[in-house]
Structure 1
Amino acid sequence: MKFLTLIIALVMLAGCSYTPNISTYVQQQPLIEQKPARVSTFLIAGFYPYWEQSKFPPQIAITNNIDVLYHAFVWPDKNGNLFVPKNFENKEIINIAKSKNIKVLLSVGGGNTSQSFSTVLSNKDLFYKFAYQLINFVVKNNYDGVDIDWEFPKNINDEYNLNKFVEFLRQNLGDNYTISIDLPFANYSGRYFDIDFLKNIVNYFVVMTYDYSGSWSRISGYNAPLTSGFCNSHDIQKSIEYWLARGVKPKSMLLGIPFYGRAFNSDEPCQEFNQSFAATYRNILSLLKNEDYQYFWDFMTKTPYLVNKKDKIYYSFDDPSSINAKIRYAFEMNLGGVAIWEITQDIVNNHHTLLPDIAQTVKNNELLN
């Protein structure tokens, strides 16, 4: 007589959540509606600047291929007010993003609009004025959190005041809102970010791994080299290793992906030049059809470039091959995802040309891992 063997599997499911007590301040606290947090294994985040909204409306720019949208930028003015540009329309953006289950973060600061952070955050009255205006704007407009793009703290006082500001946002927004901070790619601008303090408060750190070369450089270099080449002292691998050594947790780190390149009036990399400018991937894509431009692949930096010998112009940029290599590296380093600057720069005929490839590469790597 045969006996059937019964296999009993015990599955234990455990879950916990913790929300810290919200500190009480003299000023009246804004009303906070707590929201459930999304869980994702590898995030695709993208910046959407307000000045591109009219040309590339949210119906075109926002797709299911991203998980987090950074709506850029608002910023503090010298009087501690939250400055919101006239064309900063957000209702449609948030409605479309929410319909696609995309988180939307309000990005504060910017490369050309961070000047008042130091003054405002160092003055108690201006600090609270700005912080409450920011918190109320986030809550009222149904954002999922805040991204702080202060470029960059320049001394120990800035470092301390940034800590206080981030801590204040967390205490008042609670744990169900996302807080993100944008970091430079090297120590020169990154030394006054107190990672030991911030890493316990901040959800994500966007490492801006681009602009390694430009008009400020001595020679025509690479815009976003993954690895070392003939003429770059910094590269993405060194940047990620630097921030890991500083204490940023891998899963909280988003690797920056540029949807633009840099042009130099030289006929190849690593040459002297006197003019340089940025060019969107959309514009560079059109040059690939021009017979005056020749495509090259740099095996050392794992990036492409274009050269026009006749007009003596060289473009360093990213395409699907170089971006795929960066995504594979992000998976190898167990990073939390990638962040794109910015999502309109690859749009041709109302369709993204790079973003679908990124989404597919992420899916492929998730399967492999």
Structure 2
Amino acid sequence: MTCAILLMASLLPAQVTDAGKPGGSDKVFVGYLFGPVKDIDYSLYTHLCHAFLTADGDGKLKQARNVPSRDLTTQAHAAGVKVLISAGGWGWDKQFAEIVASKEAEDRYVQAVLAMVREYDYDGIDLDWEYPDTDAEVPGFERLTRRLRAGVDAIGKDKGRKMFITMALSSNPGTIRWLSTAFLVETMDWINVMTYDYTGDWTDYAGHQSPLFGSSKQPGKPRSTAQTIEYMLNDRKVPADRIALGIPLYGRGFSVAEPYASTKGAPKVRLPGGSYRGLAELPGKGWKRVWDDETKNPWLLSPDHKAVIGYDDAESVELKAKWAREKNLRGVFFWQVHGDRMPDGSNPLQKAARKGLFGG
């Protein structure tokens, strides 16, 4: 082990020995909750991230229908589950940049967020600044994070319990590179790496949106969950127990005849590409499930041979979670918890992932 890694290890937040339920494991099994506080199987999770708390550029918090929620923290705590409030979300880069550009706005924001954590009994903050990726923004992000870290730790000292700071991180190395490893290790209990949305209607081919491994059929340099995590581990030297692997509970479709076909000129039509709950019904409507053994993911092919959907099912998420365990990652997380909520009340994908992560 190099001196640099030893130094980073010395900066790690206190290890949590009871984060995961099976056998006192320190693994985390995290679900993002975006929507009503209902139909949640708390037995699945170690932590929930309650999305989203937003603000304007002056640092004033905005009212939301479901955030914050004392009902959520009360129910979760009764089940032994920690809850972090998720601040930001996709599209909130501009507001965060404005907040940290003004001392008054930053002070206002920090005080308001910490007051909400304390009042509603959250267990910390999940930062979803997507993304700090300029020379002007990074110092502000680091300062804001350190202030929130100090604030939640002070609340934890008062309440006599461990508090958490996490963040949602892009899967793109070009975006990840803006944040130093030393800073991430110093401030974050773990990092939720969003290993999904590798492809979509913004790409010129029909690739799988969350492949575990790359495909030889993919144009250009293959991107994948494994590639991103290996970059974090090997190139960036982030400790494995500070990384949670992201698993989507939804799919993305393309108006082409087969996977990896070019989408140039393909018609823009509405496809079933929503949550797993909806996708699980398609085989009964003539869609064909096909397994991609290179990427370790399934596809759905339309009965008229005019559309394909890349998604995850119980087989692929168990493999992903098992791979995360073999890499000694801190755990896995899901966007979002209701995505595989079936009519019978089960969550088959998340249950399969628990099997992969914890074994048995």
The TM-score range, normalised by the shorter chain, is 0.7 to 0.9
CA contact (8 A) 2:68 2:120 kept: no
Distance 2:12 2:210 in 1: 39
**Which one-letter code corresponds to 2:138 in the other structure?**
E
Which position in structure 2 is the counterpart of 1:246?
236
Q: How many residues align?
A: 326
C-alpha change, 1:173 and 1:87, in structure 2 (3 Å) is closer
Which position in structure 1 is the counterpart of 2:290?
296
CA contact (8 A) 2:12 2:185 kept: no
Which position in structure 2 is the counterpart of 1:10?
none
Which position in structure 2 is the counterpart of 1:208?
194
Which position in structure 2 is the counterpart of 1:324?
318
1:341 and 2:335 matched: yes
**Which one-letter code corresponds to 1:164 in the other structure?**
R
**Which one-letter code corresponds to 2:33 in the other structure?**
Y
Task: Structure 1 unaligned segments of length 5 or more: list them.
Answer: 1-17, 21-35
Relative to its length, the structure with more helix (as a share) is: 2
Q: Percent identity?
A: 26
1:236 and 2:225 matched: yes
**Alignment partner of 1:344: what SS?**
helix
**Alignment partner of 2:165: what SS?**
strand
| TM-score normalized by the length of structure 1 | 0.84
**Which one-letter code corresponds to 1:70 in the other structure?**
C
Which position in structure 1 is the counterpart of 2:159?
none
Q: Which protein is bigger by CA-based radius of gyration?
A: 1
Shift of 1:309: 4.5
**Alignment partner of 1:360: what SS?**
helix
**Alignment partner of 2:241: what SS?**
helix
CA contact (8 A) 2:31 2:47 kept: yes
Distance 1:179 1:161 in 2: 16
C-alpha change, 1:148 and 1:173, in structure 2 (3 Å) is same
**Which one-letter code corresponds to 2:350 in the other structure?**
L
CA contact (8 A) 2:145 2:187 kept: yes
Out of 242, 245, 250, the position equivalent to 1:260 is 250
**Which one-letter code corresponds to 1:47 in the other structure?**
Y
Which position in structure 1 is the counterpart of 2:5?
none
Which position in structure 1 is the counterpart of 2:178?
192
Task: Structure 2 unaligned segments of length 5 or more: list them.
Answer: 1-10, 21-25, 157-161
Shift of 1:37: 8.0
For residues 93-152 of structure 1, the C-alpha deviation after alignment (integer angstroms, 9 at most, x for no partner) is 111111110000000111133430111112111111111111111111100000001111
CA contact (8 A) 1:267 1:309 kept: no
CA contact (8 A) 1:196 1:247 kept: no
Out of 69, 94, 101, the position equivalent to 2:80 is 101
**Which one-letter code corresponds to 2:90 in the other structure?**
G
Distance 1:130 1:139 in 2: 14
Which position in structure 2 is the counterpart of 1:65?
44
Which position in structure 1 is the counterpart of 2:58?
79
**Which one-letter code corresponds to 1:312 in the other structure?**
K
Superposed CA RMSD in Å reads 2.1
Which position in structure 2 is the counterpart of 1:14?
none
| TM-score normalized by the length of structure 2 | 0.86
